[in-house]
Amino acid sequence: MTKSKIKGLLLACMVTAGFSATAQDDLLNELNSSLPPVKEYAFATFKSTRLIDGSTVECLGPGVLDFRITHRFGAVSSGAENFWGIDNAYTKIAFDYGVNRWLMLGIGHSAFNKEYDGSVKIKLLRQQIGAGSPVTVTYFGNTSMETLPAPTLADSSYKWLASNRMFFTNQIIIGRKFSKTFSVQIMPSMVHYNLIDSAKYKNNTYAIGIGFRKMFSRSSAITAEYFYRLNNSSMTVSGQPTYNTFSIGYEVETGGHVFQLMLSNAQALNERTFIGQTTDQWAKHQLHIGFNISRVFTVVKPKGYEEKGGDKDNKGSWGSAGGDKDKDANVTENKKSVKEPKKAEKKEFKKSPKTDKDFNVNEKASSNW
Encode pLDDT of 264-319 as tens digits.
Answer: 999 999 999 999 999 999 999 999 999 999 999 999 887 765 544 444 434 333 33
Give the residue from 298, 319, 336 where a domain finishes. 298
Give the residue from 298, 318, 344 where a domain finishes. 298
CA nearest neighbour of 67 among 257, 214, 196, 242: 257
- Bridge-based pairing state of the strands 166-177 and 64-75: unpaired
Tell me how far apart the alpha carbons of residues 252 and 218 are, in angstroms, rounded to a whole number. 9
109 located within any domain: yes
Residues pairing with 93 in the sheet:
69, 109
> 307-360: per-residue pLDDT in tens?
444 444 343 333 344 444 444 434 344 444 444 444 444 444 444 444 444 434
Q: Looking at the structure, tell me whether residues 201 and 118 fall in a common domain.
A: yes
Q: Looking at the structure, tell me whether residues 316 and 294 fall in a common domain.
A: no
> 64-115: per-residue pLDDT in tens?
999 999 999 999 988 888 888 888 899 999 999 999 999 999 999 999 999 9
* Environment class of 37 (CB within 10 Å of its CB; exposed 0-12, middle 13-18, buried 19+): exposed
Q: Looking at the structure, tell me whether residues 170 and 317 fall in a common domain.
A: no
Q: Looking at the structure, tell me whether residues 186 and 256 fall in a common domain.
A: yes
Containing domain of residue 316, as a range?
Answer: 310-359
What are the phi and psi torsion angles at 338 (to 5°)?
Answer: -70, -40
Domain count of the fold of the chain: 2
Q: CB 368: neighbour CB atoms within 10 A? A: 11
| Predicted pLDDT at 89 | 92
